Amino acid sequence: MAILVPSLTTPQGDVVTNVYAKVMSSDYSNRGDDDPVLTGTVHFFRNKAASDGGLPPYTGEGFNLSPWAPGAARGTITCVGLASYVDGDSFTLNDGVNPEVEFAFDMADLITETSTLRRIPLPANPSADTNQAAEHIASIIRNTPRDAFFLRVVKVEGAVISLINCYAKAAGNVAQGSGVNTIGFQITAMSGGADLIDIGAEVENHLLTLPMFAGGTRV
């Protein structure tokens, strides 16, 4: 399968029209949650027969595919220390496709977890350390069942948790909810998701997308 692209600029800087692009190989350079990146090779061909027959590509070389899921929505959570949360505080995360998931702070161990309700334990003597709180909250998000929750933790830097929506693309550009009134706690809306053309590189049950192929057609 190839993509017929009306016009694009090759990695060598040449502008070409009606070029056929084909994914030749792909793999994860990091299979964990910390900055997962898909690397691979795309070759360009002058015509469909060349792409089907494996003839030498028009450009003579390929290039890496990165970053991972470029059509994905992204957002952040800025945390405060665990000592600032009140038992029963909660916030919700919404991937734009599945039912939103509520994350509730619980000191008394009264919450029964479900696929849409996750417990964030509060210790008896919680710390005011914001970095520690971010790691703690991120661990709960990471352990949320993934079959009906498309948000992933990309990384934790200090008090900030970075999120990515793995599948929803433009549908993932949604606001997030918070019942936490503590000053300093903030969840940004997910943004940057785009419905870009799929190029056939299957990654974690969805298709990789690249902006350079926008306007192309499967052939």
Q: What pLDDT is attached to residue 36?
A: 44
The CB-side HSE value for 120 (13 A sphere, CA atoms) comes to 27
- pLDDT top residue among 42 and 89: 89
- Which residues, listed in sequence order, are joined to residue 173 by a DSSP beta bridge? none
**pLDDT of 139-159, one tens digit each?**
999 999 877 888 888 889 999
User: Does residue 123 come out as left (phi exceeding 0), alpha (psi in the -120 to 50 range) or beta?
Assistant: beta
- Is this model's pTM higher than 0.95 or not? no
| pLDDT, tens digit (0-9, with 9 covering 90-100), for 51-95 | 666 555 544 334 344 433 456 788 999 999 999 999 999 999 999
Task: Dig out the tokens for 50 from the structure.
Answer: 């060349």
213 to each of 2, 42, 44, 70, 88, how far by Cα in Å?
11, 11, 12, 12, 47
Closest of 73, 114, 80 to residue 95, by C-alpha: 73
Structure confidence at residue 55 (pLDDT): 54
